[in-house]
Structure 1
Amino acid sequence: MESEQWRYDELSEEIEAMCISKAEEFRLLGYEYVTGKDIWDCISRNYVKEGRPPLHKLVNDIYSLKSGSYMNYLTIAAYRGLN
């Protein structure tokens, strides 16, 4: 049986939907200005050195992101002048 190779281009809409879903979760917790792009920027910073992760790791990273980790990312980005 041949394993199916997922391409990130084909999954970009699904990945974007996951990030939007996570941003909506954060908005329910009171973080009003979080967007899907913000979630992606936070998650994808980990892939700069290691390259594209397996799909299961990417999905896990998005859905397991905690608000505290996101706030740490924003704080460090602000100190570095990235935001």
Structure 2
Amino acid sequence: MESEQWNHDQHSEEIEAMCRSKAEEFRLLGYEYVTSKDIWDCISRNYDKEGLPPLHKLVNDIYSLKANSYMNYLTIAAYRGLN
């Protein structure tokens, strides 16, 4: 059985590709300036306290991110002065 722990460096290209895919999806929805880094910043904020989750949860978090959740993240970040 494969371990639940994974090396972020080992899968960084795949994660980058998933974030790029999600950013492209958002651009198709009219959010023109979304980048893969923006997607990763939005997703990874949830992992600050607990660290990186198992790979399957990370993949689910990226692909299930909704535009509304992303916009809420941007709004809160703007209020906090993070962007």
Check whether TM > 0.5.
yes
Return the alpha-carbon distance in structure 1 between the equivalents of residues 11 and 70 of structure 2.
23
2:15 maps to 15
Return the alpha-carbon distance in structure 2 between the equivalents of residues 54 and 6 of structure 1.
7
- Cα deviation 1:26-73 (Å, max 9, x = unaligned): 000000000000000000000001111000000000000000000000
Supply the AA of the counterpart residue of 2:51: G
Q: SS where residue 19 of structure 2 aligns?
A: helix
Q: What is the root-mean-square deviation of aligned Cα atoms in Å?
A: 1.2
Question: Greater relative contact order: 1 or 2 (C-alpha under 8 angstroms, separation 6 or more)?
Answer: 2
Return the alpha-carbon distance in structure 1 between the equivalents of residues 2 and 64 of structure 2.
27
**Residue segments in structure 1 that go unaligned for 5+ positions in a row:** none
Return the alpha-carbon distance in structure 2 between the equivalents of residues 75 and 32 of structure 1.
16
In structure 2, the CA distance between the partners of 1:51 and 1:6, relative to structure 1 (3 Å rule), is closer
Q: Which has the larger radius of gyration?
A: 1
Supply the AA of the counterpart residue of 1:61: D
**Residue segments in structure 2 that go unaligned for 5+ positions in a row:** none
Q: Between the two proteins, what is the percent identity of the paired residues?
A: 84
Return the alpha-carbon distance in structure 2 between the equivalents of residues 74 and 34 of structure 1.
11
Count of aligned positions: 82
Which stretches of structure 1, 4 residues or more, deviate above 6 A after TM superposition?
none
1:38 maps to 38
CA drift of 1:6 comes to 3.4
Q: What TM-score, normalized by structure 2, do the two folds share? A: 0.94
